[in-house]
Amino acid sequence: DIRMTQSPSSLSASVGDRVTITCQASEDINDSLNWYQQKPRKAPKLLIYAASNLEPGVPSRFSGSGSGTEFTFTISSLQPEDIATYYCQHYDYFPYSFGQGTTLEIK
């Protein structure tokens, strides 16, 4: 099974900051990677699919890059409503798996 290693596990940043989260896959997954945002007591919400494609309706301050085993998720200018936990998730083959999550808080 593919293991997804996400870092950091938590992050404190100021409004307007650029925020970056990394995700490493234990084997090559091409670009079969999603990034999700989850707020308390809510289902995960898809932000980025196929590593770098913005889901329709998602603000353009969110972006993703990478392929193979190394991936990056970026918020270009952090907003208060971005406080949440973010997860990477591969879907190269079953079983799909998620990273451990990055909890983002406002400094």
Partner 1 sequence: EVLLVESGGGLVKPGGSLRLSCAASGFTFNNAWMSWVRQTPGKGLEWVGRIKTKTDGWKTDYTAPVKGRFTISRDDSKNILGLQMNSLEDEDTGVYYCTTDPASGLDYWGQGTLVTVSS
Question: Looking at 2, 17, 53, 55, which residue binds partner 1 (CB under 8 A)?
Answer: 55
Binding segment toward partner 1, per CB under 8 A, in 17-25, 39-47, 58-66, 68-76: 39-47
Strand partners, 102: 86
Per-residue contact string for residues 2-31; x = within reach of partner 1 by CB under 8 A: ------------------------------
Question: Looking at 20, 68, 69, 91, which residue binds partner 1 (CB under 8 A)?
Answer: 91
Q: Shortest approach of partner 1 to residue 56 CB, angstroms?
A: 11
Could you give the CA distance from residue 37 to residue 26 in angstroms, rounded to a whole number? 22
Per-position DSSP letters for 23-84, written without gaps between them? EEESS--TT-EEEEEE-TTS--EEEEETTTEEPTTS-TTEEEEEETTEEEEEESS--GGG-S
Backbone Cα Rg of the chain: 13
Place of tokens 């603000």: 59
Question: Looking at 43, 57, 60, 80, which residue binds partner 1 (CB under 8 A)?
Answer: 43
Residues that bind partner 1 (CB under 8 A): 1, 32, 34, 42-46, 49, 55, 87, 89, 91, 94-98, 100-101
